[in-house]
Structure 1
Amino acid sequence: MTLESGRSLRDTLSSLVHGDSYRKLQPRLGEIFSPDVFARPSGLSEQERYSLTYERLRHINGMVDTSTPLLRQRELLFPLLEWAAMADPSLFYAFFLHHCTTIGSVLEFGKDRDDLDDLLAELASTSVVGALLMTELGHGNSNAAVRTEAVYDRDHNEFVLTTPGPEAVKYPPSVGAEGVARTGIVTARLKVGEQDCGLFCFVVPIRDSEGACQGVRIEPQDSPSILPLDWAVVSFDGVRVPYRYWLRDSASISNDGTFTDALSTPALRSRQASRLIRYVWEGAAVGLAAVARGSAAIAVRHAHERLTNGTFAGNFASAMPVIRYRNQQRTLFGALSSAFVAAMAAKVIASPDPMPQTAGAIRTVFTLKAAIDQIAERVTVASREASGVLGFSPQNRFLDYQGLAHSFNAAGLSSQVLYLNAAWTMALGLDYQAPADDTLPPADRSLRDPAVWSLLTTARERRLHEELVDELGKARADGLSEFDAWNDRFDLAERMAQAHAARLLVGVIRTEVDALAEPRAKEVARTVCALHVLTEIMTHSGWYLAEGLLTAAEARSLPALLNELCAEIAPNALDLADALDVPYEIVGAPIAQADYASAFTNVAAAGPLG
């Protein structure tokens, strides 16, 4: 379909996913992610698979200019992360750990220091590969409970890194691959004399091409089959770390051994060690949105070619594409809709200019990351299930993408913890003011109106916030401790934060869709986004009904309205799938092709591609 401007519907809608700078970069991305380099050979051993991941990391590094850290080339970094996620989720993980968290830590906590230039150059060349060693086996994702110690040795102006017990081993850094030199960013509790100075990051060589460095013990662990990474348990026994490898931020130790820090307490310092996690949230959001896009596009394309002689067709001799069935449309167009929403949210996070480091902006980033992760989990699973037995085939990528989505539910704090952190800051009013609960429009309103979406999601956030604050206030008045006050209200807190995320997403949708100049493209985009938003509203229709925000007639109308939206999406579904900008040549899923049976047979004969 060609619109009035001469641009195709697909090209116009793809602006929801990417800006003009991406279009200019696309040919270069095609060169970097050559199908020959990113073929998926079968029969590899675990060590061979790990080696391939790091070979690909070096390949990408060799194809781009990293003399300026990629974190400072955001318009290049995020497209590279997207394509890496769709080409090879294990590579994506290694790539973002190297360029975002490892180099990011040096830039974040070693700011304005020229004595780290050689380290940055070494990392930029990937002669060593970076890793993050933050979480510990005995304390899960609780970085505040880190037990690894870095004791300052004044006589040698060094730090001695020690793991005090099995609960303090670092788990699960991906540093187990043989023959790959690794440098880690290790979080440890700094001790100067008898003083506990809080958590800091240290640059620590973990292994060279021959094996573990002196004092470092690496115990390889089993890797999940759907996201193969060289996981390990790492412990330290008297590892000596030079003073310059202390990423000291605003702290210092004088010649007489006196520790000083602009932050007044160890607790405040320990919180600062998590600043680098924002790079995780940004990178994860982009990669998760990418695999949601890939899954939805593959499944929708396949459903147009996959024929069935269903009982409900009424004629067993007549086959029809499964996409004709409304239940398939609700699943697959729902995945398509959610993939667009995730892509638009990731586009906001991955803007050329990073968000300001205010409490509100940081909360927005991690709340959107949690929402995108939940979308990616739903979309990857729904796309796989809707594709039948071929959805379970590794060649068709759903399992790979599902593995990445599941992994990031825990990485960089779990989605639930992120929501609870958001709720905590919002309940305290930290850079947050609850939105106005405006009067809803007249009874003849349309649930397809984006203004109604905003009113409903705003009212839900406002009222759940009021309920949470009121409940916490009553609990404190009754003499409950802060733990007990929150402990029975975590469910309410999570629902409030999820409502906040829903409102944020509606705001993103309205901004991005309204920016489309073509009336026809705007109409199609609004229709596909409506499916996601109204599905979310229907999920909570009981609450909206109880609050008087939906009428009984509106609540009953939602299933039929979702079917209407599916019927309107159907003629444009393939254009919408292609507007998600999935590079099928490197994804390589046979079922994304029109003649998927021939493509799958050829792939099976020659070895899986993509």
Structure 2
Amino acid sequence: MFSADVFRSRADGEGTGSERFALTYERLRHVNGLVRDGSPLVRDRERLFPLLAWSAVADPALFYAMFLHHCMTTGAVLEFGAGREDLADVLEELAATERVGALLMTELGHGNSNASVRTVAEYDAARGEFVLRTPEPAAVKFPPAVAAEGVPRLAVVLAQLVVDGAECGEFCFLVPLRDADGPLPGVDVRPLRPTPVLPLDAAAVSFDGVRIPYRFWLRDNASLTADGGFSDPFGSPAVRARRTLSLIRFAWEAAVVGLAATAGASAAVAVRHAHRRRTGGRFAADLPVIRYRNQQRALFGALSGAYVAQLVAVATATPEAPALTPQAVRTTFLMKVVTDRIAERVSARARTASGALGFLAANRFLDYQGFAHSLNAAAADNQMLLLDGAQALLAGTAYTPPADEAPAAGSRDLLDPAVWEALAAVRERTLHRELADGLREASEEGLSPFDAWNGLYDRAERLAETHAARLVLGVLREAVEGVAGSDPVTGPEAAAVLRDLLALHALEQLAEHDGWYLAEGLLDADEVRSVPALLDRLCERLEPYAEELAEALGVPYALVGAPIADEDYVGALTGTA
């Protein structure tokens, strides 16, 4: 599928502007044509997630097009139009990519918040239709990727439903935006200047009296009577908005998969290259750079992060869709934040460790780092997700703070995965108590909810970050235990290597907060001082396995197309191979 000519690397950086956008959608249709079997791909998770992973490695812009089309657009039809035969033709059209799906949620004047959407879909009872309009410049949909010419588009548009002058809540509507000849009547698509970080056909979109058939209202369990009476079992616009925005969970899962794949590609390419890149140092001549401890700290740290991201992706993007519970939703969006940060750090380390060649576009580190950077604000801003998570934890929504059971300072092994998890648990419990105390004190002082939270957002972020870190460390512990028990002969040795690799991630995280742990008496001075030496010892033990660990990530080097991943990277870059 991915060895077709459409994925061949272009010498000119795959073109610019309209040519680059056209290539993205050509690739989308190519992949879609080979996997199409009549069933929505978003329901076939065992095929969907590998396809998203390979798409991200091949072309991050293709990944965006894939998940917007299959997860968000088709997903919205299936989620909010479940069981409706009158939408069968829409699903067939999307399955054939006769129209490419898009998602129009965020608005220019409201940042990354979907809580105050002002785009209006007003019900016209006389004609049984909705009239979609953008009431003010701030309500312009911004910045959906729908500007490419010649590509028919069907969008899921988030709008405020208005019935008989009353706002009834935010709903999704299916809106044909453009055909092969351009935007449809009443739809204004203004292309934005392409960003160098990620080549997407971004646009600002507004509506002026666009008529939407009744059946294109993705009404979920809400309804309208013939005379225009509105009914919603959820009872309030606020609850309806939360239900509608639950659609974003498809994006979180997809993001975790794509980010883990690009982190793996970055780490594997850099580690592979470091075994072949030779340097003449002051104290030794003609050594591969992987022999240098500072390179090992950077590259093995990247490799560790890539493995952590892969383990998180496996735990998050499971073959069976998770239950739509508050805890499952919260865990999924926090794993998006965690994986995004890991992937950005891994690609940056891999790029830096590769020297001047790391900055060549052909070697893909900039593509992958830009991809991770772009996802900081995509599918809900990371900071907003952390604050939402913290508020839910504080409210006790499907959550109880972990027990305070860390072993005493100086009496434990910092390479033990159970110790990593226990220390994170104590930090989480402490931060939870401090945040709760801070809010109680603010309430006693008579502060408004805004003023109370406004002085505590930093603590809230730290709580959510620590909660997410503890969950990840639990995944790592289970992975090591699983490998240890997998085979009585090879399992223990393999588990020891995996533990050493994952310990790099855990100890670096610990070192980021060692001052806090020291102040709380959870680490002693000797333990804090021991961490750099522990990291060096881990690197020394991992060096014999490093290239094998990189290969075990299963990165398709031919698809990455990075010359420095070639055995003869000099020949690959000079055309003499």
Q: TM-score range by the shorter chain?
A: over 0.9
TM-aligned CA deviation for residue 36 of structure 1? 2.7
Query: In the alignment, which residue of structure 1 is the partner of 2:6?
Result: 37
**Among residues 503, 506, 520, which one is paired with 1:547 in the alignment?**
520
Which residue of 1 is the match for residue 184 of structure 2?
A: 213
Distance 1:443 1:407 in 2: 42
> What residue identity is the alignment partner of 1:484?
D
Q: What's the counterpart of residue 401 of structure 1?
A: 368
Distance 2:446 2:95 in 1: 55
The amino acid that maps onto 1:468 is L
Range 178-187 or range 40-49, more displaced = 40-49
Matching of residue 271 in structure 1 with residue 242 in structure 2: yes
Aligned with 2:401 (options 434, 443, 446): 434
Q: Any idea what SS the aligned residue of 1:276 has? A: helix
1:575 corresponds to which residue?
A: 548
User: Which amino acid counterpart does residue 161 of structure 1 have in structure 2?
Assistant: L
In 2, Cα distance between equivalents of 1:582 and 1:35: 17
Shift of 1:66: 4.2
Give the counterpart letter for 1:420 in structure 2: L
Contact 1:35 1:586 in 2 (8 A): no
User: Partner letter of residue 125 of structure 1?
Assistant: A
Q: Out of 88, 95, 101, which is 1:130 matched to?
A: 101
Classify the secondary structure of the residue corresponding to 2:567.
coil
Post-superposition CA distance 1:51-72 (Å, at most 9, x none): 1100100000111134111111
Corresponding position of 1:283: 254
Aligned match for 1:362, one of 329, 346, 355 = 329
Report SS of the residue matched to 1:241: strand
Residues 130-529 of structure 1: pairs in structure 2 closer than 5 A: 130-311=101-282, 314-315=283-284, 318-441=285-408, 443-516=410-483, 517=486, 518-529=491-502
For the structure 1 residues 321 and 122, does the alpha-carbon distance in structure 2 shift closer, same or farther, using more than 3 Å as the test?
same
CA distance in structure 2 between the aligned counterparts of 1:294 and 1:177, rounded to whole angstroms: 28
Report the residue type matching 2:230 in the other structure.
F
Q: Residues of 2 paired with 1:265 and 1:467: CA distance? A: 33
Calculate the aligned-residue CA RMSD, in Å: 1.2
Counterpart CA distance in 2 for 1:439 and 1:390 is 45
- Name which structure has the greater RCO, CA cutoff 8 Å, separation 6+: 1
Any stretches of 5+ residues in structure 2 without a counterpart?
none
- Shift of the 439–59 alpha-carbon distance from structure 1 to 2, 3 Å rule, reads closer
Answer yes or no: is the 8 Å Cα contact 2:409–2:521 preserved in 1.
no
Query: How far off is 1:545 after superposition?
Result: 0.6
CA distance in 2, matches of 1:335, 1:402: 13
Distance 1:409 1:451 in 2: 30
| TM-aligned CA deviation for residue 37 of structure 1 | 2.6
Q: What is the number of equivalent residue pairs in this alignment? A: 569
TM-score by length of 1: 0.92
Distance 1:506 1:463, change over 3 A: same
| Matching residue within 92, 95, 112 for 2:83 | 112
Shift of 1:437: 0.8
Q: Which moved more, 1:55-64 or 1:589-598?
A: 589-598
CA contact (8 A) 1:338 1:379 kept: yes
Q: Does the alignment pair 1:584 with 2:557?
A: yes
Kept after mapping to 1: 8 A contact 2:265/2:555: yes
Distance (Å, rounded) in 1 between the aligned partners of 2:176 and 2:6? 29
Out of 27, 49, 67, the position equivalent to 1:56 is 27
Distance of aligned partners of 1:442 and 1:173 in 2 relative to their CA distance in 1, 3 Å threshold: closer
Runs of 4+ in 1 over 4 A off after TM superposition: none
Structure 1: how far apart are the matches of 2:78 and 2:289?
A: 51
Contact 1:173 1:231 in 2 (8 A): yes
What per-residue deviation string (whole Å, max 9, x for no partner) do you get for residues 179-238 of structure 1?
000000000101001111011000000000001011000111111123101111110000
Q: Does the 8 Å CA contact 2:410/2:523 hold for their aligned counterparts?
A: no
Q: Give the partner amino acid of 2:522.
A: L
Q: CA deviation at 1:417?
A: 1.1
Measured in 2, the distance between the counterparts of 1:439 and 1:233 equals 52
Match of 1:593 in 2: 566
Which one is further off, 433-442 or 407-416?
A: 433-442
Alignment correspondent of 1:17: none
1:73 aligns with 2:40: no
Deviation readout 1:527-554 (Å, 9 max, x if unpaired): 1000100110011101111111111100
Are residues 231 and 215 of structure 1, via their aligned partners in 2, closer, same or farther at CA, if it must alter by over 3 Å? same
Distance in 1, Cα, partners of 2:482 & 2:539: 23
Q: Alpha-carbon deviations, 1:431-467, whole Å to 9, x = none?
A: 1000101141573321111121111111111111111
Partners of 2:516 and 2:238 lie apart in 1 by 40
The letter for the 1-side match of 2:110 is: H
Partner SS, residue 274 of structure 1: helix
Distance 1:222 1:320 in 2: 45
Q: C-alpha distance in 1, partners of 2:261/2:37?
A: 23
Give the 3 Å change call, closer, same or farther, for CA 250–83 of structure 1 in structure 2. Answer: same
Which AA in structure 1 matches 2:103?
A: L
Matching residue of 1:22:
none
User: What is the match of residue 12 of structure 1?
Assistant: none
Q: CA deviation at 1:403?
A: 1.2
Unaligned ranges ≥5, structure 1 = 1-31, 606-610
1:92 Cα deviation (Å)? 0.5
1:537 equivalent in alignment to 2:510: yes
Are 1:561 and 2:530 matched, yes or no?
Answer: no
Worse-superposed segment, 302-311 or 358-367: 302-311
Q: Which amino acid aligns with 1:539?
A: E
- The one-character-per-residue Cα deviations of 1:544-579 (angstroms, maximum 9, x if unpaired) are 111111111001100111111111111100011111
Tell me, in whole angstroms, the C-alpha distance in 1 between the residues paired with 2:575 and 2:472. 42
The 3-state SS of whatever aligns with 2:575 is: helix
- 1:15 aligned partner: none
Please tell me the residue identity of whatever aligns with 1:570: E
Where 1:594 maps in the other structure, the secondary structure is coil
Secondary structure, in 3 states, of the residue corresponding to 1:143?
coil
Secondary structure of the residue that 1:262 maps to in structure 2? coil
| In 1, Cα distance between equivalents of 2:375 and 2:409 | 42
In structure 1, the residue corresponding to 2:147 is in which secondary structure? coil
Q: Give deviations 1:394-418, integer Å, cap 9, x for gaps.
A: 1111011011101110001111111
CA distance, structure 1, for counterparts of residue 59 and residue 234 of structure 2: 41
Counting aligned pairs with the same residue, the percent is 56
Mapped partners of 1:189, 1:444: distance in 2: 58
CA distance in 2, matches of 1:131, 1:255: 31
CA distance in 2 between counterparts of 1:443 and 1:597 reads: 50
Q: Distance in 2 between matches of 1:45 and 1:363?
A: 38
Partner AA of 1:348 in structure 2: A
Distance 1:223 1:510 in 2: 43
**Contact preservation (8 Å) 2:252, 2:332:** yes
Give the secondary-structure state (helix, strand or coil) at the position aligned to 1:289: helix
